[in-house]
Structure 1
Amino acid sequence: MEDKIKNNYSQIAKEKHPKPPLVKNVLTAFFVGGFVCLIGQAVQNLYIYFGFSPEDAQDPTVATMIFIAALLTGLGVFDKIAKFAGAGTAIPITGFANSVTSSALEFKREGFVHGVASKMFVLAGSVIVYGVVTAFFIGLISAII
């Protein structure tokens, strides 16, 4: 009897749950993500204009995009953009900067050591660990070959 009620409830809930606007969400994520990439390319072109080689302009471009995303997170703007854009803001660098900054802001009331420093990488810690380990093994394979 209890299973029948659960199944009936699940069926009713599924019928009443609105369907997400999939095409709109995909297009919004695509265009916002593309716009973020366009901003990154403009920043890189600005560094190239000021005398960096295209290869040397990559590092300050990444740092600038991280700074912009962290600043927008601190000002509360990034969350509004992410709410509108969905996955379009999950581009690795800006999404990573947002996760680190938002964790730091959330736990700042617990102090710098036990709050900010220890909780800052709660969301991003696994990305850092696996990124470093993967980079190590790729570098090792590259050195052997």
Structure 2
Amino acid sequence: MKEQQYNTLKDQISPPTPYALNLLKAFVVGGLICVIGQGISLFYMIFFDFTERTVGNPTVATMIFIAMILTGLGQYRKLGQFAGAGSAVPVTGFGNAVISAAIEHKSEGLVLGVGGNMFKLAGSVILFGVVSAFFVTLIKLILVSVGVASW
């Protein structure tokens, strides 16, 4: 079978991809995750006296923790199947990636299985986050030194 015949047959058999619906679901779910994060931030600011400058870290930690719990219970997978990138792009996707790898390799033991595979995907995220933060800080330091920006 030639490539053109194969592509024609594939197009006839495969159902069309609902791009607009997928985009809408990802947008709504990703936005809902962000609204939940904003609610957690407000909760911490009201009940624990955090400021807008200091509330970020506990909010991110809480969102990652929630995603890890949902992944362990098997619920985050359902959310990911429904929302696609809408559940993977926010910080909750990071928590899901870490715990998914740990759960997948738990049969290999705690050290070589869970510990060795837990940060395979997340390790690159951490690495590029730290490196990009370094370069952004370096650029800002240069701009402050020449008087273009201020702290």
Aligned twin of 1:32: 29
| Aligned mates of 1:101, 1:68 — CA distance in 2 | 11
Which region of structure 1 is more displaced relative to structure 2, 118-127 or 133-142? 133-142
Q: Deviations over 1:84-108 (max 9, x none)?
A: 1111102331011101110011001
Determine if the alignment matches structure 1 residue 116 to structure 2 residue 109. no
Aligned twin of 1:47: 44
| Aligned mates of 2:28, 2:90 — CA distance in 1 | 16
Counterpart contact for 2:33–2:90, Cα < 8 Å: no
Size of the aligned set, in residue pairs, is: 142
Determine if the alignment matches structure 1 residue 77 to structure 2 residue 75. yes
Which region of structure 1 is more displaced relative to structure 2, 65-74 or 16-25? 16-25
Aligned twin of 2:148: none
Matched to 2:23, the amino acid is V
Aligned twin of 1:137: 135
Moved over 6 A (4+): none
Structure 2 stretches lacking a partner, 5+ long: 146-151
- Aligned-residue Cα RMSD (Å) equals 1.4
| Aligned mates of 2:131, 2:46 — CA distance in 1 | 35
Query: How far off is 1:43 after superposition?
Result: 0.3
Residue 15 of structure 1 aligns to a residue whose secondary structure is helix
User: Identical aligned pairs, as a percentage?
Assistant: 50
Structure 1 stretches lacking a partner, 5+ long: none
Matched to 1:109, the amino acid is S
Aligned twin of 1:67: 65
Determine if the alignment matches structure 1 residue 58 to structure 2 residue 56. yes
Aligned partner of 2:17 among 20, 25, 30: 20
Query: How far off is 1:59 after superposition?
Result: 1.0
| Aligned mates of 1:143, 1:84 — CA distance in 2 | 43
What TM-score, normalized to structure 2? 0.87
